[in-house]
Amino acid sequence: MPTLGNPTGTIYILKKYNFQFQKKYGQNFLIDSNILENIISAAQITKDDFVLEIGPGIGTMTQYLCENAREVIAVEIDKKLMPILEDTLSAYNNVAVINADILKLDINRIVDEKNGGRPIKVVANLPYYITTPIIMGLFEKHVPLESITIMVQKEVAERMQSKPGTKDYGALSLAVQYYSAPQVMFTVPAGCFMPRPNVDSAVIKLIYHSKPPVDVNDEGLMFELIRASFNQRRKTLVNSLSNATDLGLTKDKVLSALEKLQLAATVRGEALTLEQFARLSNML
Ligand code: SAM
């Protein structure tokens, strides 16, 4: 068995199984051993760790995870990859592969059964077509987490860690920063994958907050306000929120809350910090 984290090893396996890439599953496999080593060290994987890998592909990063972690669960949607993973992971007895759609899997149950409900590390080279639902799913289902170290599109990584008043700041930044402390670790050129994606990528680490950094009475309402504020990004916050019919807020009500928060009547959502959104939602 050749090592996989290089073009030769990957091509050998693809040919052996006559594997055809499925574009619909966002299949871009890593072929650079330096990047793989850097992901493992960014995630600070040790023999104490239980790791969930999302989308193992042919098992390239899974092998590195098995070498470094105590136990690995790898969830892969593509049935055609199952015999390949059985082959490439045959040397390891600390891994289980689950053939499932990560968005439909009860991850909390797996963490309960396999790790006694203790926090896990998530490591993945994510399928880019579902980056946001995967991350938000982990957060909103309150999966016990220590950290999430993931490869995403470079622009998405930038959005996750951007601050108020910048062009990248939006609902994703606020959600990620409510649940975690994001840190872009390094960027990854398109040439490190097979096939080459059309975009550059970055590895970002989200260190989970055991307690959110702001006090919110109703998380659901805060995120509805955030979504409404950024739906109509160029409008003032008063107009965006009073136009969002599901919220049932009058202009006067929003204006009076803004006044109490000492914010101008003309302020836009993109200027508000997470703390200000939390206070606004508590007030409304
Ligand atoms: N980890 C491998 C690597 O780094 O070479 C493959 C990464 S590739 C970018 C993404 C992987 O996620 C593919 O193997 C794809 O089949 C899988 N995938 C796509 N959608 C998925 C889903 N909903 N649930 C689980 N796996 C999925």
What per-residue confidence (pLDDT) applies to 233? 79
Distance 115 CA to ligand 1 centre (A): 23
CA 177-183-97 angle, to 5 degrees, is 90
> Are 148 and 208 contacting, i.e. CB atoms less than 8 angstroms apart?
yes
Second-level CATH architecture of 7-208: 3-Layer(aba) Sandwich (3.40)
Indicate whether residue 76 lines ligand 1 (CB < 6 A).
Answer: yes
What does the alpha-carbon distance between residue 171 and residue 180 come to, in Å, rounded to a whole number? 14
Distance 67 CA to ligand 1 centre (A): 20
What does the alpha-carbon distance between residue 131 and residue 271 come to, in Å, rounded to a whole number? 25
Domain boundaries, the chain: 7-208, 219-283
**CATH class (in words) of the domain with range 219-283:** mainly alpha
Convert the pLDDT of each residue in 66-104 to its tens digit: 999 999 999 999 999 999 999 999 999 999 999 999 999
Question: What's this model's pTM, rounded to 2 decimal places?
Answer: 0.95
Indicate whether residue 188 lines ligand 1 (CB < 6 A).
Answer: no
Convert the pLDDT of each residue in 149-182 to its tens digit: 999 999 999 999 999 989 999 999 999 999 999 9
Indicate whether residue 5 lines ligand 1 (CB < 6 A).
Answer: no
What per-residue confidence (pLDDT) applies to 3? 83
Average of per-residue pLDDT across 205-230: 95
Average of per-residue pLDDT across 59-71: 98
Pick the atom of ligand 1 nearest to 151's CA. Answer: 9
Nearest-CA residue for ligand 1 atom 10 is: 127
Locate the DSSP E strands across the chain. Answer: 29-30, 50-54, 71-76, 95-99, 120-125, 145-153, 180-188, 193-194, 201-208
Nearest-CA residue for ligand 1 atom 21 is: 77
Indicate whether residue 131 lines ligand 1 (CB < 6 A).
Answer: no
- Helix, strand, coil shares of the chain, percent, nearest 5, are 45, 20, 35
Phi and psi at residue 98, to the nearest 5°? -115, 125
Burial 155-191 (b: 16+ CB within 10 A, else e): ebbbbbbbeeeeebbbbbbbbbbbbbebbebeebeee
What per-residue confidence (pLDDT) applies to 234? 84
Q: Which amino acid is at 254?
A: V
